[in-house]
């Protein structure tokens, strides 16, 4: 790996916002480490120069092994994109109706996952004296999504984790920011957005009149990863078509 290459590690990179982010970062000149439960999808997203492997972000051993292997192959990590996330299944609705097992699963992926990934990557960035942690949170971390208690709680925690990293690691040359999408059309949301009447209801509440595409969110991640906004840290960048302005 030559010195001019910058390395980005993307979790959940096999589909949706993660895949769009991988494609954009490769176009921007990054070499990628891509982790996902979908091994083939991760390999395709990483490309021939990158590193890909099965990754369970909620499992400490899986995370530590993945990060160690990525650093061994690629030499450094300049950007970590904490993208892997889940909304919970159809039982994860209002609080008293959400099974404890489903609550724990959402929190494990959406909160424990970014914690474990950041915990594993930050020592690498501290040793480099530079790095950027970009966490894909959600506007659900700022305003409560009705009927999605576990998801809303998890994204609020992920947002605060991003801010905590910004405060604690600024003197080490490391920045941390959160990207907060509104509703985006991905495999995770297609069960709703592929139903015309449900999509119409959702888009009626968005001033721009449409949900985001994964590429819309990837564009914002790309700007952050470029270091053009080098003075920005601890920020929550909202990209929701105006949803939270209402």
CB 161 within 8 A of CB 111: yes
- Which residue among the candidates 151, 169, 231, 243 is catalytic per the annotation? 151
The three-state DSSP-derived secondary structure of the chain is CCCCCEEEEEECCCCHHHHHHHHHHHHCCEEEEEEECCHHHHHHHHCCCCEEEECCCCCHHHHHHHHHHHHHHHCCCCEEEECCCCCCCCCCCCHHHCCHHHHHHHHHHHHHHHHHHHHHHHHHHHHHCCEEEEEECCHHHCCCCCCCHHHHHHHHHHHHHHHHHHHHHHHHCEEEEEEEECCECCCCCHHHHCCHHHHHHHHCCCCCCCCECHHHHHHHHHHHHCCCCCCCCCCEEEECCCHHHC
Compute how many other C-beta atoms are within 10 angstroms of the C-beta atom of residue 48: 5
User: Phi, psi at residue 229, to the nearest 5°?
Assistant: -100, 55
To the query of whether residue 231 is one of the catalytic residues in this protein, the response is no
Tokens of 162: 């991003």
Q: Which residues are catalytic?
A: 151
């Amino acid at each position: 790996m030559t010195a001019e290459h910058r390395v980005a590690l993307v979790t959940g990179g096999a589909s949706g916002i993660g895949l769009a982010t991988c494609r954009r970062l490769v176009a921007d000149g990054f070499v990628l480490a891509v982790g996902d439960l979908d091994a083939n999808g991760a390999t395709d997203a990483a490309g021939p120069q990158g590193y890909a492997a099965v990754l369970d972000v909620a499992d400490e051993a899986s995370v530590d092994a993945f990060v160690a292997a990525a650093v061994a192959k690629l030499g450094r990590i300049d950007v970590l994109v904490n993208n892997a996330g889940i909304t919970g299944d159809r039982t994860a609705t209002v609080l008293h109706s959400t099974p404890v097992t489903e609550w724990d699963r959402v929190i494990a992926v959406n909160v424990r996952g970014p914690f474990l990934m950041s915990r594993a990557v930050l020592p690498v960035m501290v040793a480099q004296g530079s790095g950027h942690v970009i966490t894909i949170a959600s506007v659900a971390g700022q305003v409560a999504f009705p009927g999605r208690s576990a998801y809303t709680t998890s994204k609020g925690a992920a947002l605060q984790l991003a801010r905590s990293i910004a405060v604690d690691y600024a003197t080490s040359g490391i920045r941390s920011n959160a990207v907060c999408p509104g509703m985006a059309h991905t495999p995770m949301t297609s069960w709703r957005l592929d139903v015309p009447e449900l999509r119409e209801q959702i888009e009626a509440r968005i001033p721009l009149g449409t949900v985001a595409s994964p590429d819309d969110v990837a564009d914002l991640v790309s700007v952050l990863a470029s270091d053009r906004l080098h003075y920005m840290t601890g920020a929550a960048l909202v990209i929701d078509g105006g949803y939270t302005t209402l």
